[in-house]
A = this chain, B = another copy of it.
Amino acid sequence: MEFMMKPIGILHSPFTEKEGTPIQPTRSQAVGKVEVYPEYADGLQDLEGFSHIILLYAFHCSSGYSLQVKPFLDDQLRGLFATRHPCRPNPIGLSIVRLLARHENILDIEGVDMLDGTPLLDIKPYVPEFDVRNNVKTGWYAKRSKE
């Protein structure tokens, strides 16, 4: 069983190389644009009421993946699924960014941590009732070796 994913748009970012690209939106103040292809623009109605959106996109990882990786913020090998490392069996990236404005099919966003030209797969509204958890334990991350 396989699922074919087709980009619904493209992400425009100031970052063109992995080196120097922020590792998470919460560590980025960079602004960028989400260009949703015109045939999907009608699906963006009402999105401008939300201050934050979840972007799902395809990582540019042509080089496969490893099940044990060294996270950016640690110096020990960890299980891939216990990290946010970009090279994964299904290389789907997830970023929660601030939505500054919508102009038709173009979204102005802040907190960009993707490479320029990243293919967009989905947009979902960020809803604290669904997406925020309290009393969270974060394993190795809480004891990470880097900041």
Q: Is the interface of A mostly helix, strand, loop or mixed?
A: mixed
Identify A44's interface contact among B2, B49, B50, B79, CB under 8 A: B79
Please determine whether B45 and A139 come into contact, CB atoms closer than 8 angstroms. Answer: no
Please determine whether A139 and B3 come into contact, CB atoms closer than 8 angstroms. Answer: no
Size bracket of the A interface = 35 or more
Q: Which residue of B lies closest to A36 (CB)?
A: B81
Residues of B within 8 A of A136 (CB): 50-52, 126-128
Tell me which residues from 83 to 100 in chain A have a Cβ below 8 Å from any Cβ of chain B: 83-84, 88-92, 94, 96, 98
Residues of B within 8 A of A79 (CB): 42-47
Residues of B within 8 A of A36 (CB): 81
Residues of B within 8 A of A84 (CB): 124-125, 127, 130
Please determine whether A78 and B45 come into contact, CB atoms closer than 8 angstroms. Answer: yes
